Chains A and B, each alone.
Chain A
Amino acid sequence: MATAWPEKDDHELLVLIQDGNGQAFATLVERHTERFYRLAYRYLQSKAAAEDVVQDAFLKLWENPALWQPERNSKFTTWFYRVVVNLCLDLRKRKGPVALDEEMPLIDDREPVDETMVKIQEQKALEREIAALPERQRMALNLCFDEGLSNQEAAAVMGVKLKALQSLVMRAKTTLKERMKAYL
C-alpha cells in the first residue's frame, strides 16, 4: 500500500476506503497518525499504549469503513478524535489510572541547564496536576490546548454544548492556576 493522493481531502479518501482502496487508507493513516497519537498519549501517558490505541482505531476503520457515515459525521477528524478518546477511556477503565512516565522527555536539549531544570520542574508539576483533574476537564483541556481545536470542534468531539465545554476549560484552568501558584 504505497501512499498516494496527498491532494485528496479526508472525505474523498474515506469514500475510496469504503471501496476497499488500500492506497487511500495509507494516505489517511500517514496524514493523521501523529495527531491522534498525541491525543492518546496525553490520556494514557504511555508511548506503547498510545500507539496501540491509534493502531486499533485505524484498523477498526479499515475493517469496517462503514462506521464512518458522512451524513452523520460531518468531519472525519472530529469523529475520529471521538473514536480515539473512547478507546483511551476503555483502556483506562480496564487498566486503572496511569502513572506519569518518568522517562518522558520534558525538556529541549538545546536549552541552558539552569533554565532546563526550572522547566523540568514546571512541566512535571503541570503534568501531575493535569493528571489529577477530572476526566472531562482534562479532555477539554487536551483538545483545546494540545490539539488546537476550536471550542466548537472540541465540544463536538465531546458531545457537549459549547457553553458546557467552555465551563469545563474554565474550571480546569482555575484549578491549575491555584495548584500551580508557585510556578506562575
Chain B
Amino acid sequence: MSDNRDEKLDRMLRSRRHEPASADLAQRIIFKARQLPQTKTMPLWQSVREMFGEFHLPKPAYVLASALVFGIVIGFSAPQDTGPAADDSGVSVQSFLSADEALL
C-alpha cells in the first residue's frame, strides 16, 4: 500500500507540467548579449603570465638581469662579520691611544 503511494507520488512528481518558455527566449538572450561588451577578468597567475608575455627582450638582457639580481642577493646574504670586528678595533685603538699618552 505504502509502495503504491510512493510510486504514485514519484509519478506525479515526474509528470509535473510547466508553462513553456517563449519560443524566442534563446534568440532574445543572444541578441542582448551582442550589445554587451565582455569584461576580461583573469586569474592572477594568468595576468602575470600575460604581463611577462608583453616583454620581448633579447636573451642576453635576461641573462644580464638575472646576473644582477643574483649578485645583489649574494651581496646582501653575505655574513656581516667577515671584516674586522667593530668592537675589537675600538679596543685596540683605545689601548694604543692610552699607551701613547703614557709615553708623553
Residue of A104, A123, A145, A184 near B8 (CB, 8 A) is: A184
> Does the CB pair B18–A66 fall under 8 Å?
no
Size range of the chain B interface in the assembly: 20 to 34
- The minimal Cβ–Cβ distance linking A14 to chain B, given in whole angstroms, is 13
Q: How many residue pairs bridge A and B at CB < 8 Å?
A: 107
Query: Contact string, B3-18, partner A, CB cutoff 8 A, digits 1/0?
Result: 0111011101110111
Please tell me if the beta carbons of B19 and A55 are within 8 angstroms of each other in the complex.
no
Judge whether B29 and A33 touch: CB under 8 Å.
Answer: yes
Stretch from A21-29, A77-85, A91-99, A160-168 at the B interface: A21-29
Known: A59-B36, A62-B38, A63-B39. A177 touches B26 (CB 8 A): no
Contact indicator A63/B13 (Cβ below 8 Å): no
Number of residues on chain A facing chain B (CB within 8 A):
47
**Footprint of A on B, CB under 8 Å?**
4-6, 8-10, 12-14, 16-19, 21-22, 25-26, 28-30, 32-34, 36-43
CA A100 to CA B28, docked complex, whole Å: 26
A171 nearest CB across to chain B (Å): 13
Closest to A62 in B: B33
